[in-house]
Copies of this chain bind each other. A is one copy, B any other.
Amino acid sequence: VGEFELIKRFFSPERYAADVCLGVGDDAAVVIVPSGQRLVAAVDTLVSGVHFPDNTPAADIGWRALAVNLSDMAAMGATPRWFTLSLCMPVADERWLAEFANGLRAAAEPFDVQLIGGDTVKGPLNISVQILGLVEADGWLTRAGAHPGDVLFVSGAPGEAAGGLRVMQESLHGGTSDAKHLLQRFLRPEPRVMLGRALRNVATAAMDVSDGLLVDLSKLSAASGCGAQLFLDTLPQSPALHRVFGAKMSEQLMLNGGDDYELLFTAPAESAAQVAELASQVGVTCSRIGVMDASGRVQCLRNGKPVAMDVRGYDHFS
Contact = CB atoms under 8 A, between A and B. Distances in A.
Interface in A1-29: 1-4, 6, 21-22, 25-29
Interface in A63-105: 72-73, 75-76, 78, 82, 84-86, 88, 91-92
A39 B31 contact: yes
Query: How many subunits of this chain does the assembly comprise?
Result: 2
A265 B256 CA distance: 55
Given A130-B43, A318-B2, A33 B33 contact: yes
Contacts of A41: 28-31, 82, 84, 116-117, 130, 132
A74 B77 CA distance: 33
Interface in A180-228: 206-208, 219, 223
A252 interface: no
Contact of A117 (B27, B43, B46): B43
B22 A29 contact: no
A153 interface: no
A289 interface: no
A176 interface: no
A119 interface: yes
Contact of A42 (B6, B117, B142): B117
A126 B88 contact: yes
A45 interface: yes
Contacts of A91: 317
A32 B38 contact: yes
A44 interface: yes
Contacts of A73: 28
Closest 3 CB pairs between A and B?
A28-B42, A47-B123, A27-B75
Given A28-B133, A47-B123, 17 more contacts: A1-B318, A2-B316, A3-B315, A27-B72, A27-B75, A27-B207, A28-B73, A41-B84, A42-B117, A45-B88, A47-B122, A48-B123, A49-B123, A50-B122, A92-B317, A120-B317, A124-B126
